[in-house]
Structure 1
Amino acid sequence: MEEGRRLIWEDSKKLGSLGALMNVCKGTVGTGILGLPWALNYVGIVLGPFLLVAMGLLNLHCMLILVSSAKHLSKVLNTPPLDYGDLAYLCFLHAPILSLRRFAWAAQLFVNVCLQITQLGLCCTYTVFVAQNLRQVIAVHWHDAPDERAFIAMLCIPFVLVSLIPNLSVLAWFSTIANAAGITALILIVVAIVPYLPPVYTREYVHDGTGFAIFLGASIGAYEGIPLILPVANAMEHPNKYPNIIISGVSIIMILYVSVGFVGLLRFGPNICGSITLNLVLGDRFTDTARILYSIAMFLTFPLQFYVAMAIMDSWIEARWNVKKLWVSLLLRVVFVILICTFSISVPYIGELNSLIGATSSAMLVLLLPALLHTMAYSVRVPDTLLTNDDNDDDHSATSHEKESESEETKDFKLPKYVMAKDAVIVLIAAAASIAGLIQTIGGIVREEQLHSIIRRCNGGLGYEYLVHNTSTAVDVISTKKRYILSQTP
């Protein structure tokens, strides 16, 4: 992903503090925010916000140590600013355990594959989101509208067309429009639900814990901005101010996430869907406007996320096969959009998709890799001739050991044992969350498939209750009831 970001920024000016803050916030907040009430439902309305803050603080810590690791390694190796893949490569290449050095290329490949999965996975969530929300708006006037899978198939052509746009100036305008539409829609959503909030005691304070791993996956996936952290740091005019900017940005995001998650769950309770927009009042111009605006925002964000993934893939193909032809690049884009739509048709569940991304690639990028690379970056064996005079970082108590008499003078950088133990705990937490989240999310997808119905609101339908009160004849209601598989589900 970082390589794609460099392509976008290579001709741009250095970022100031405000620009860096905006990029951190913009890169982190995505469709995951609309699924946070659904995620909190798995842990309870009281426990959930505290866990969401804890996850935000852990994410913040991993962002900071990732930046620190890249800065430290770049300094001691005298390299240009590092991206995520480069950091992984150099950490393994200079690992103190010689047997690990042969895996340097594999580490870089693993990071880049995780970045690709995250980017393309987000494209899947955008596709499902647009299809389900547009279907709800249309189905109010066309009760026999096809299900969301048919809508995804129909939207595949528009997604293909926007993915073929190679002009970054056009994509920049897409980004501006998407930001304006998304912010406006989020304000409309909050205004629509706040006046109708029930008392807190009507909701479950603490859930029984059966879906805790799903919550972890969804909450990790919601903090999707860590792939942007190093590119923004490398583009800053004053990099020394960056840690404070990260702290400010994540603090703003945590407040926003907790507010939306709490209010959404309080309003809709156990009937909450994977996206809060699916629970909004149907047939109302105010809420329909919010659905349409957010759908526009996601549709225009799709080519931006897709461009980054394809930019990396183009560079891989050019480096591997020395092929740099326009038709190859365009064909690759068409094929991958079709694959994205196909996967979205097979798993058209926004909440589960967010949790699946969070439990797999995001858990690696957000938690496991920053902690692992932090320990490795400060354990490098570096030739003494490459060392600079200023080896100590303010955030770490790195100490230099005695020089070893080998073919070349070397120094080791070691973190305090308690810091290394902390990194190991984060790695274990990430691994456990990834495995448990993946298992529970797959189970959730199976359950959703069993409950799937063209009428069910969480599948982009209108809901049985709405149809009972709004269909014109008793025959329509009876027909609707026959088609509804589980009338007691949201």
Structure 2
Amino acid sequence: MGGKKNHPIHVNHDKNYFTPTFESQEVLTRKDKDNTIQLKDLKTTGEVADYDPYLFRSVDHPTTNSETLLHLLKGSLGTGILAMPLAFYHSGYLFGVIATALIGAICTYCIHLLIKAEYVLCKRRQLPSMTYPQTVQFALMDGPPFLQKCAPYSGAVVNTFLLTYQLGTCCVYTVFIADNVKQVGDEYIGEMDHRLYMLIFLLPLILINFIRNLKLLAPLMTIANIITIGGFGIILYYLVLENITLEGRDMVGKLEDMPLYFGTVLFALEAIGVIMPLENEMKTPKSFGGSFGVLNISMFAIVLMYILMGLFGFLAYGADTKASITLNVGQGYTELKDKIPADIAKLMLSLAIFFSHALQMYVAIDITWTQWLSLKLQKSSMHNLYEYGVRAALVLITFCLAVAVPELDLFISLFGALCLSALGIAFPAIVDLSTHWDTLHGSRGIMIICKNVFLIIFSTFGLIVGTGTSLMKIIDKFFSH
């Protein structure tokens, strides 16, 4: 190693960014004209085997296993689970149960692939941790020759998908809050355009996104989880009162609607944007994986809840199922006293989604500010002011998009199929294939290659068909008015 020292990745929560020092295995060349970094890989040494990345992580505010579990739950338990009844309407109740369990297992497996590959790459290059884009870039550098050529551009590609998905999610959150609060408001204070409700929540959303580290978000996530459980309890109460029946409910949906189901389930299940930041900031990151680790426990609970909500919601409302089940509950009652619990549930879940907005925006802020603008403005005396300006601007962008989004369900399916097919399935498979490329020999190597190729083909098919179907239906909706 020639006397070179290992330096930890230091997580600065005042600015929410990772500042890795590549000294042991990489030579960095900065191109001033476009502020990009080229990584020239050098051969690793025998000392790599003794390096444990977890021991070299330095985190200002490490999160416990329970805090990480809460963050992961809130990263997945959002508007997606409330859209599951409509997803089951598209898929049919029998196919929906089986397919959701399978997709959930695939998503969980792919996350494990990504986390394990990150550990191997960190160990290989003697780095404490990596972000998602860094993991993809380093993996491609070790992969087959045709993928090595893509390595310099892979970080930007991953960030583009991440940014698109996170902003899309925040846009959907804004629409969800406005639609549900409007439905309650129409009952008690008279009708008002949903855009005005979006405007009312604009300033609070900006303020909550001024919180700059995950540790401070933990209490809000705890409150959000409690509120969510209460809201789901009320929804289940109404579902029990409804006529749960198989009559008139399809076991298998129409083939042309399956892509909408696929996109919605991916949007609901995947929280890939927050997975690696959460694992990197854990006090005991080894507890994240494993058979009974944080990831498996949380994903098992999430998939089970999604199946139950989708199944009983669809069986209760059938063809009348709306984009969010909250918009169905309490609508068949004439007495105000029978509607009040449903209205409370809508407000509770709107508040929970409001708190979750900050967690989803965390990644978008990290990409736009930490990894790009902050580097250009780091010498400015108004650095912190610029950061708050960027945070406010991102919320404003999602607000403007939300005003222009009239079809909540179609946009959920669109963002799920477009972004999460790649981020949640294809990229982890490519990373796994590339990371272990030099060791893929014999029958075991062939099996690993076939497995990853299958995942890549499966996700690519879902991306193309799901995105195309969603876009065509959105266009049809627009031009039908």
Is 1:328 aligned with 2:386?
A: yes
Q: Secondary structure at the match of 1:347?
A: coil
Structure 1 residues 280 and 160, CA gap change in structure 2 (3 angstroms): same
CA distance in 2, matches of 1:434, 1:417: 26
Once the two structures are TM-superposed, the CA of residue 13 in structure 1 deviates from its matched residue by: 3.6
Is 1:175 aligned with 2:231?
A: no
Once the two structures are TM-superposed, the CA of residue 88 in structure 1 deviates from its matched residue by: 0.8
Structure 1 residues 13 and 80, CA gap change in structure 2 (3 angstroms): closer
Aligned to 1:295: 350
CA distance in 1, matches of 2:351, 2:285: 35
2:373 to 311, 314, 317: 317
Structure 1 residues 317 and 441, CA gap change in structure 2 (3 angstroms): same
Aligned to 1:467: none
Aligned to 1:436: 465
CA distance in 2, matches of 1:123, 1:4: 24
Structure 1 residues 150 and 172, CA gap change in structure 2 (3 angstroms): same
CA displacement, residues 468-487 of structure 1 (integer Å, 9 cap, x when unaligned): xxxxxxxxxxxxxxxxxxxx
Structure 1 residues 149 and 133, CA gap change in structure 2 (3 angstroms): same
Corresponding letter in the other structure for 1:304: L
Equivalent residue runs for 1:312-391 within 5 Å: 312-315=367-370, 316-322=372-378, 325-379=383-437
CA distance in 2, matches of 1:148, 1:451: 21
Once the two structures are TM-superposed, the CA of residue 448 in structure 1 deviates from its matched residue by: 4.3
1:88 to 136, 142, 150: 136
CA distance in 1, matches of 2:363, 2:471: 28
- Larger Rg over CA atoms: 1
Aligned to 1:243: 290
Aligned to 1:10: 59
Structure 1 residues 293 and 119, CA gap change in structure 2 (3 angstroms): same
Structure 1, gaps ≥5 residues long: 381-397, 402-413, 453-490
Once the two structures are TM-superposed, the CA of residue 376 in structure 1 deviates from its matched residue by: 0.6
Corresponding letter in the other structure for 1:370: P
CA contact (8 A) 2:259 2:469 kept: yes
2:205 to 159, 165, 181: 159
Structure 1 residues 197 and 436, CA gap change in structure 2 (3 angstroms): same
Aligned to 1:474: none
Aligned to 2:307: 258
CA contact (8 A) 1:221 1:355 kept: yes
Structure 1 residues 86 and 169, CA gap change in structure 2 (3 angstroms): closer
Once the two structures are TM-superposed, the CA of residue 33 in structure 1 deviates from its matched residue by: 0.3
Once the two structures are TM-superposed, the CA of residue 328 in structure 1 deviates from its matched residue by: 1.7
CA distance in 1, matches of 2:358, 2:440: 46
Equivalent residue runs for 1:10-409 within 5 Å: 10-13=59-62, 15-16=64-65, 18-97=66-145, 100-143=147-190, 145-166=191-212, 171-234=217-280, 235-237=282-284, 239=286, 242-244=289-291, 245=293, 246-282=295-331, 283=336, 284-315=339-370, 316-322=372-378, 325-379=383-437, 398=439
CA distance in 2, matches of 1:199, 1:305: 36
CA contact (8 A) 2:97 2:311 kept: yes
CA displacement, residues 443-471 of structure 1 (integer Å, 9 cap, x when unaligned): 2323444678xxxxxxxxxxxxxxxxxxx
Q: Secondary structure at the match of 2:230?
A: helix
Corresponding letter in the other structure for 1:26: K
Q: Secondary structure at the match of 1:156?
A: helix
CA distance in 2, matches of 1:241, 1:137: 40
Once the two structures are TM-superposed, the CA of residue 42 in structure 1 deviates from its matched residue by: 0.8
CA RMSD, 1 decimal: 2.8
Once the two structures are TM-superposed, the CA of residue 441 in structure 1 deviates from its matched residue by: 1.0
CA contact (8 A) 1:85 1:112 kept: yes
Corresponding letter in the other structure for 1:176: T
Once the two structures are TM-superposed, the CA of residue 19 in structure 1 deviates from its matched residue by: 4.6
**Structure 1 length normalisation: TM-score?**
0.78
CA contact (8 A) 1:378 1:415 kept: no
CA displacement, residues 223-258 of structure 1 (integer Å, 9 cap, x when unaligned): 122333333443252616622223332222221110
Corresponding letter in the other structure for 2:358: P
Structure 1 residues 154 and 21, CA gap change in structure 2 (3 angstroms): closer
CA displacement, residues 32-68 of structure 1 (integer Å, 9 cap, x when unaligned): 0000111111111121111111111111221121122
CA distance in 1, matches of 2:361, 2:72: 19
**Structure 2 length normalisation: TM-score?**
0.80
CA contact (8 A) 2:112 2:289 kept: no
Corresponding letter in the other structure for 1:257: Y
CA distance in 1, matches of 2:390, 2:318: 43
CA distance in 2, matches of 1:105, 1:4: 26
Q: Secondary structure at the match of 2:255?
A: coil
CA distance in 1, matches of 2:322, 2:12: 33
CA distance in 1, matches of 2:278, 2:196: 39
CA displacement, residues 413-456 of structure 1 (integer Å, 9 cap, x when unaligned): x961121111111111111111111111122323444678xxxx
Corresponding letter in the other structure for 1:182: T
CA contact (8 A) 2:86 2:314 kept: yes
Structure 1 residues 430 and 239, CA gap change in structure 2 (3 angstroms): same
Once the two structures are TM-superposed, the CA of residue 111 in structure 1 deviates from its matched residue by: 1.4
Once the two structures are TM-superposed, the CA of residue 169 in structure 1 deviates from its matched residue by: 6.2
CA distance in 1, matches of 2:235, 2:160: 35
CA distance in 1, matches of 2:166, 2:461: 23
Structure 2, gaps ≥5 residues long: 1-9, 18-57
CA distance in 2, matches of 1:4, 1:40: 43
CA distance in 1, matches of 2:211, 2:476: 38
Bigger Cα displacement from structure 2, 84-93 vs 162-171? 162-171
CA distance in 2, matches of 1:331, 1:238: 33
**Percent of aligned pairs with the same residue?**
25
Q: Secondary structure at the match of 1:74?
A: helix
CA contact (8 A) 1:29 1:225 kept: no
CA contact (8 A) 2:70 2:222 kept: no
Once the two structures are TM-superposed, the CA of residue 136 in structure 1 deviates from its matched residue by: 0.5
Corresponding letter in the other structure for 2:160: V
